[in-house]
Amino acid sequence: MNPLFQILFDDKTTFLGGNLKETKWQSIPDKKIITLIYFMPIGDALVLSEYNAYYHYVEVTNDLTGPKKGQVQLEYIYLIGKKDTTYKLYKINLKTQQIEIQILTENDKLIKELNPIGWKKGI
Amino acid sequence: MATVMNFLINYVDAAVAYATTPADYILVDLVNDYLIWTAGDTVVKDLMTHEPTADELNAAGTIISDIADTMVAKCLLMDYSHSVGGAYYTHLVLGMGLNSRYSYCFSFDGITATIPRLEAWDDSDHDTIAKHVLGASTPANSMVKAVRTTGGLPGAGWAGTPIAGAANYVELDTAVLSGAKDLYANCKIVIPQSYATPSAELFCLTVRYTYL
């Protein structure tokens, strides 16, 4: 089984991500990321490089009522690359496997409200 | 590990936080337990000794008023294990719809990337809001009103946000979670005056949250 992602750092070392429940994003060493290869659930891969910073998180729902109550449903993966003042967002729908791409700025609510602890430095 | 949320209801004193007196709360077994919004009667009430039947729930339905909006009077937790405070199947959620801060608790065990939200949908697909209780596809008309109470009381006569779909939701805190934290909300159902379509509807309340 593929790791969730693979990272190449500027010192030529690498880091492997975990899975959707234990992503290991917070265990990424504090080194400059040269390339991030993100392995999609359907088998393809997204390759991100030359960004100033990277962000990744998983969105889930937990129903309190209804037929699937109590089941944590994986909804989306968010992968963000920051370059200067723009942010390229890959929103991966885990139910349909479709990817939506958005270009955001630091003034967008989604960017402004992100937990700053999740940013990992690039070049 | 992924951040985990537990859902609890206060059945003793809605002025007391979970961290202060955990015994005032019931941890909801989301797979087997469920919430019932009802007018209540002599049968469907707090501390029932059996699981209410569909006929009993229908008999205790809310009467739609032709002179004013009507708040559904009670929210009961149907406790499948009936193991709290005696062999009771139902427990009244204290403070529901009132100026109460600690009725519904959402207890998170770790950090989040974004602010957790309380949403309402037709079902677990989370893509439609056609049911009458959710405004029949008009989110602003949703009868499900919610208010964040993590930071304080909701205020007397609180109106709340009509929650339905992706655009009408309630954020359960004012910022992302930087560690384990208990969040709170109050939630009620208000049926508009002279609403023309009586019904008994199941809908999906969901908490949407994120982790790194």
8 Å CB contact of B204 and A63: yes
Tokens of B40: 């209540």
The number of distinct structural domains making up chain B is: 1
User: Which residue in chain A is spatially nearest to B9 when comparing CA positions?
Assistant: A64
Q: Which residues from chain A sit within 8 angstroms of residue B5, using beta carbons? A: 62
Pick from A61, A78, A96 the residue to mutate for testing the B interface (most B CBs within 10 Å): A61
**Each residue of B107-166: pLDDT tens digit?**
999 999 999 999 999 999 999 999 999 999 999 999 999 999 999 999 999 999 999 999
User: Which residue in chain B is spatially nearest to A21 when comparing CA positions?
Assistant: B2
Average pLDDT, chain B: 96
Q: Compute CA distances B58 → B142, B200, B201, whole Å.
A: 21, 8, 11
Mean pLDDT of A96-121: 95
Mean pLDDT of A85-91: 97
Mean pLDDT of A108-114: 95
Dihedral angle sign, alpha carbons of residues B82, B87, B91, B94:
negative
**Each residue of B77-108: pLDDT tens digit?**
999 999 888 889 999 999 999 999 999 999 99
Phi, psi (rounded to 5 degrees) for B165: 75, -165
Reported as a pLDDT band with limits 50, 70 and 90, residue B174 is very high
Element (H, E) at A111: helix A109-112
Tokens of B133: 């209780």
The ipTM estimated for the assembled molecules is 0.94
pLDDT at A1 over 80: no
Predicted pLDDT at B141: 97
> Among candidates B124, B192, B184, B133, which has minimal Cα distance to B163?
B133
**Each residue of A30-76: pLDDT tens digit?**
999 999 999 987 778 999 999 999 999 999 999 998 888 889 999 99
Q: Which of A55, A61, A117 sits opposite B206 (nearest CB)?
A: A61
Pick from B34, B111, B206, B208 the residue to mutate for testing the A interface (most A CBs within 10 Å): B206
pLDDT at B1 over 80: no
- DSSP states along A12-50: S-EEE---SSS--GGGS-SS-EEEEEEE-TTS-EEEEES
8 Å CB contact of B35 and A64: yes
Phi, psi (rounded to 5 degrees) for B86: 120, -175
Amino acid occupying residue B100? S
Predicted pLDDT at B83: 86
Residue pair B108/B115 in contact (Cβ under 8 Å)? The answer is: no
* CA atoms within 13 A of residue B21's CA, in its CB half-sphere: 12
Domain range spanning residue B13? 5-208
**Each residue of B30-67: pLDDT tens digit?**
999 999 999 999 999 999 999 999 999 999 999 999 99
Q: Which residues from chain B sit within 8 angstroms of residue A68, using beta carbons? A: 124, 204
Q: Three-state SS string across chain B, please?
A: CCCCEEEEEECCCCCCCCCCCHHHEEECCCCCCEEEEECCCCCCCCCCCCCCCHHHHHHCCCCCCCCCCEECCEEEEECCCCCCCCCCCEEECCCCCCCCCCCEEEEECCCCCCCCEEEEECCCCCCCCCCHHHCCCCHHHCCEEEEECCCCCCCCCCCCEECECCCECEECCCCCCCCCEEEEEEEEEEECCCCCCCCCCCCEEEEEEEEC
Predicted pLDDT at A66: 84
Interface size, chain A vs chain B, as Cβ–Cβ contacts under 8 Å: 109
- Distance, in Å, from the CA atom of A4 to the CA atom of A18, rounded to the nearest integer, reads 5
Residue given tokens 């989301």 in the structure block? B30
Average pLDDT, chain A: 94
